[in-house]
Amino acid sequence: MIDVEGLTKVYQRVRGDGAKALDGATFHVPDRTVFGFLGPNGAGKTTTIRILATVLPPTDGRARVAGHDIVAEPIAVQRSIGYMPEYPGFYPTMTGAQHLDYWGQFHKMPRAERRARAKELLDLVGLGDERKKKAKAYSHGMLKRLGLAQALLHNPPILILDEPSGGLDPYGMIFFRNLMRDLHREGKTIFLSSHILSEVQQTCTHLGVIHKGRIVATGTHEEIQARLGPAAAPKALIEASEVPGSAVDGLRGVAHVTDVARADWGLIVSMDSDVRAEVNAFLVNRGVAVRGVKLAEVTLEDAFVALTGGKPT
């Protein structure tokens, strides 16, 4: 669906030093997948996305989107994609509904269809009640939602979304995750960028990891997870005082528990799958006063250490 080969970008005019924002990136986004493009700030995610969306010309390399060359056939590419920029720009004095109508005209949709589609999409992204508000009165999260509606307007087979969940509140995150799942089920191919590992782990079927303009890993969720190895293994943080040695030893025998370490505040339990509930039940049954059970997040930094053998610098 998206084929990228040796894609390179040098922002000469601004930087003048010939540094490569994107350095020979090669990867493939298979049809009907949710591909998470993961990398720290400045890795080259937005640069890649803007090139794929045909807003920025590459310095070198090639890319095809839905079978169309991004340089030779930009119009065909634009028809095939719904693109949401990192910071969607809207006209401050136009309402959400007016924006969608305007973009519908751009896509040459007939009036009745534009209206119906605008209403449907504003409801879908949770802006139904805000449809008559001007864009300048929209919050950041609301602008993101409107950006999503705009990307979906012409019902494109491919969505290219730059940090779509950035700045969303927890409800927004859940809404967004469910929306991605529904769109994936409908058969769309989704390419989205993020710097939050846990987010792409939950949303995406495939992952590409970019660091300093180079692709350091690509593959299915499972393949990347396997390469992350112990760094990505879930750890339960058990807050409890006075855990007897017998309980710690016993815990080591619980299925899927791979290691138990003591901390000032309790125990750190390494697992090869999330068996927090079983761990908690085991301790409670032994009379341990468990005050809290949390899942430790794997940070993007941990992931990079596992994937590249060194910390991102």
Ligand X SMILES: Nc1ncnc2c1ncn2[C@@H]1O[C@H](COP(=O)(O)OP(=O)(O)OP(=O)(O)O)[C@@H](O)[C@H]1O
Q: Using CB under 5 A as the criterion, which residues of the chain lie in contact with Mg ion when the complex forms?
A: 45-46, 86
Q: Is 144 in the site for ligand X (CB under 6 A)?
A: no
Q: Which is nearer to ligand X, 39 or 88 (CB)?
A: 39
Q: Which is nearer to ligand X, 209 or 279 (CB)?
A: 209
Q: Which is nearer to Mg ion, 130 or 163 (CB)?
A: 163
- Shortest distance in whole angstroms from residue 84 CB to ligand X: 13
Q: Which is nearer to Mg ion, 203 or 280 (CB)?
A: 203
Q: Is 165 in the site for ligand X (CB under 6 A)?
A: no
Stretch that binds ligand X, among 14-22, 140-148, 168-176, 216-224 (CB under 6 A): 14-22
Contact (CB, 8 A) for 179 and 161: no
Quick one: tokens of 40?
Answer: 């720290």
Q: Which is nearer to Mg ion, 6 or 42 (CB)?
A: 42
Q: Alpha carbon of 106 to those of 53, 100, 103, 136, 222: distances in Å?
A: 16, 10, 5, 22, 40
- Using DSSP, state whether 262 is helix, strand or coil: strand
Question: Between 180 and 219, how does the x/- string for binding to ligand X read (CB under 6 A)?
Answer: ---------------x------------------------
Distance, in Å, from the CA atom of 77 to the CA atom of 103, rounded to the nearest integer, reads: 17
Pick one of 1, 4, 10, 44: the residue that binds ligand X (CB under 6 A): 44
Pick one of 43, 70, 142, 215: the residue that binds ligand X (CB under 6 A): 43
List CB contacts of 170: < 8 A, sequence separation 6 or more. none
Computed on alpha carbons and rounded to an integer, the radius of gyration of the chain in Å comes to: 23
| Beta strands at 158-161 and 81-84: parallel, antiparallel or unpaired | parallel
72: DSSP letter: T
Distance, in Å, from the CA atom of 187 to the CA atom of 139, rounded to the nearest integer, reads: 30
Instruction: List the one residue out of 255, 208, 211, 189 whose CA is nearest residue 22.
Output: 211
**Window 69-88: residues binding ligand X (CB under 6 A):** 86
- Shortest distance in whole angstroms from residue 42 CB to ligand X: 4
Q: Is 58 in the site for ligand X (CB under 6 A)?
A: no
Q: Is 41 in the site for ligand X (CB under 6 A)?
A: yes
Quick one: tokens of 254?
Answer: 């619980």
Distance, in Å, from the CA atom of 159 to the CA atom of 106, rounded to the nearest integer, reads: 18
Stretch that binds ligand X, among 10-18, 70-78, 264-272, 303-311 (CB under 6 A): 10-18
Chain contacts with ligand X (rule: CB under 6 A): 11, 14-15, 21, 39, 41-47, 86, 195
